Amino acid sequence: MIGVILLNLGGPDSIDAVRPFLYNLFSDRDIIRLGPSFLQKPIAVLIIGMKLRKTLAAYNLIGGKSPLLDITSAQAKALEESLNVSVSQSQAKFRVYVGMRYWHPFTEESLEKMHKERINRIIALSLYPHYSIATTGSSIKHFKDAAAKYSVEYSCITSWFNHPLYIDALAAQIEEGLKGFDTKPAVLFSAHSLPQKLVTSGDPYVNEIRGTIDALTERLDIKCSLSFQSKTGPVKWLGPSTEQMLHELAGRGIKNLLVVPISFVSDHIETLYEIDILYKGMAKHLGITLKRTESLNTSAKFIEALAAIVLSKVADSGWS
């Protein structure tokens, strides 16, 4: 039996979980470095105190919790079914688990479950298509540290930004989104931002984002721009921000805009609140009709892509 663990950020599963989730997030120096290491946690507490009320209000607007665990669990179930297609449960070759970085089920919790179920070969699949030390790097490091206590073989999938089936899945969502307009809209790819210092130090995140966009524009007749969202903390982040880009597009006379959340494979607060509520309202004020592509979530093409990525790694590992 081969175990597959889907590595993701995680999200608060209740309003009460928001504060501890944010603490786990801001305490991670791979995500953002807040002064010298001994001040990381005290500064994290200060930042949370300043932003907690606004963050709680945002989560209340999207149902009082993040949907990320529910969606990732559904992705895991669909992927397991795809990997074990046409075989009975007793003949199944794959089991798929969820391992979150900053909230339950934590990666170490899922590894403990895999150990109890006698899984000793593991594919760790990052659900961040574009590699960054702040996302995939942190999640993989945490996975390896947690896996070290067990006698297991593992192989890690850290980047798949230009996988043909992933591009197919994104292109399908964009094509469907374009149908929501009477006239062809401008397209804005909105990626999660990253501290500028990481990119300056050689982080490949932006190059991989652009690689995905290049692959999409080769097959789609679209005019597009790239912006970055979800900046937080007192450091310089990538730009232009999505807010800035909305003003720039309005200045160009753009009236219809399709936003593609390029670095996200699941709905969470960045899509459901930031894009669907905050940016949509901002765009309306600027005279722009803003619509968003559906997130990949459990779309059939996306699950097909994940299955192909896993099977390729299994073959490369000599486990087939």
Contacts of 199 (CB under 8 A, 6+ apart): 205, 206, 238
Asked if residue 129 has a cis previous peptide bond (ω within 30° of 0), the answer is no
pLDDT tens sequence across 73-85: 999 999 999 999 8
Is the pLDDT confidence value at 192 over 80? Answer: yes
Please determine, for residue 86, whether its predicted confidence score (pLDDT) is greater than 90.
no
Can you read off the two tokens belonging to residue 312? 């390729």
Q: At what angle do helices 300-316 and 68-83 cross, to 10 degrees?
A: 60
Torsion of CA 127, 296, 293, 281, to 10 degrees: -60
Q: Region 52-69: what's the mean pLDDT?
A: 96
Burial grade of 38 (CB within 10 A; 0-12, 13-18, 19 or more): exposed
Q: Reply yes or no on whether the pLDDT at 232 is more than 80.
A: no
**What mean pLDDT value characterizes the chain?**
94
Residue 90 has pLDDT above 70, yes or no: no
Q: How would CATH label the architecture of 164-292?
A: 3-Layer(aba) Sandwich (3.40)
Task: Give residue for tokens 């494979």.
Answer: 265
- Domain ranges for the chain, please list them: 164-292
Share of the chain above pLDDT 70, in %: 97
32, 192 contact by CB (below 8 A) = no
Tens digit of each residue's pLDDT (9 = 90 or more) over 106-147: 999 999 999 999 999 999 999 999 999 999 999 999 999 999
The total of other beta-carbon atoms located within 10 Å of residue 288's CB is: 22
Q: What is the pTM for the complete model shown?
A: 0.94
Give the model confidence (pLDDT) of 16-46 as tens digits: 999 999 999 888 887 778 888 888 888 889 8
